[in-house]
Amino acid sequence: MQGLVFDIQRFSIHDGPGIRTLVFMKGCPLRCSWCSNPESQQAKPEIMYFEEKCIHCGACLEACPYGEVLEENWPVATELCYGCGSCVEVCYAEARKLVGRWYTVEQVSDIVERDRVFYEESGGGMTVGGGEPMFQAAFVAGLLQTCRRRGIHTAIETCGFTPWKTMSKVLEHTDLLLMDIKHMDSQTHKKHTGVGNERILENARKAADVVGEMVVRLPLIPDFNDGHENIRALGRFVAEQLPAVQRIDVLPYHSTGESKSKRLGRPYTLPGLKPQSREKVDAVEQILQSYGIKIRIGG
């Protein structure tokens, strides 16, 4: 069984206990306007172009099977590119990077296994994120099951927009669930992500009853979900309907998605957006804490 992975980061302290290996899957059903990992959205390999490194030698076009077709759009990889990576192999200036490689469950689990000593010393393990892991649910379930069988703690990050039948199969092999709730109003949620939130909230309710550990994550986006009415609605929802949730992680906005979008040749829908002030973040934290919920700022 193979899965399309866009990055594997080792020795990272991330969501969840201890030192963890992070496996990022490619493909996502949402199109969040602030997406910090736009290279994870499409379920195919892609090329990121670093203009500041390019020496304009043209070797990439010569190596590309469709170089003549792509030339008029050069040097940005367009939708015509299917991500074979030929241009990356010949670019000695390292101005191009292949994002997305196929791995088997065994290959990824072997990479994770290499750092077992660090997991055992710190209480860490493996976290699967994305993109959206449920987009490749069979692969992810197999990976989680294999790592669990090897005694490695498993965690998954999800937007929750997937059929419950799919999600439940993945959660069977998950020790810790990290689930985003981006906005409590469905229409506002749809405007900025492309989908409503009904399925997400229902899956959150069901997941809270079956998973051992659960954390809600709130990506805090200026002028989208940082209003006090929405924050209070989230606090009530978690306190009243998700009693098993251990805490809410508030993740303040950062603009890394803007530069990444440029390298993928895509427009960024929130150009120039600035992160919230510390005072704004503190106010959000205080509101959520008033519902008796433990809060952590940052992921």
| Per-residue pLDDT tens over the stretch 92-149 | 999 999 999 999 999 999 999 999 999 999 999 999 999 999 999 999 999 999 999 9
Q: Are residues 74 and 184 in the same domain?
A: no
Q: What is the pLDDT of residue 246?
A: 85
Domain that holds residue 282: 2-42+105-297
Total of domains in the chain: 2
Of 67, 99, 131, the residue at which a domain comes to its end is 99
Q: Are residues 81 and 111 in the same domain?
A: no
Q: Are residues 177 and 79 in the same domain?
A: no
Q: Are residues 143 and 160 in the same domain?
A: yes
Contact residues for 1 (Cβ-Cβ < 8 A; gap 6+): 104, 105, 138, 139, 142
| Amino acid letter, residue 42 | Q
Q: Which residues of the chain have pLDDT under 70?
A: 13-16, 73-79, 299
Entry pTM: 0.92
Q: Are residues 69 and 152 in the same domain?
A: no
Give one DSSP letter per residue of 180-227, joined into a string.
E---SSHHHHHHHHSS-SHHHHHHHHHHHHH-SEEEEEEEE-TTTT-S
Of 251, 188, 206, 210, the closest CA to residue 36 belongs to 251
Q: Are residues 167 and 216 in the same domain?
A: yes
Q: Are residues 119 and 198 in the same domain?
A: yes
Q: Are residues 230 and 86 in the same domain?
A: no
Q: Are residues 78 and 190 in the same domain?
A: no
- Give the tokens for residue 84: 């074979």
| CATH classification at residue 287 | 3.20.20.70
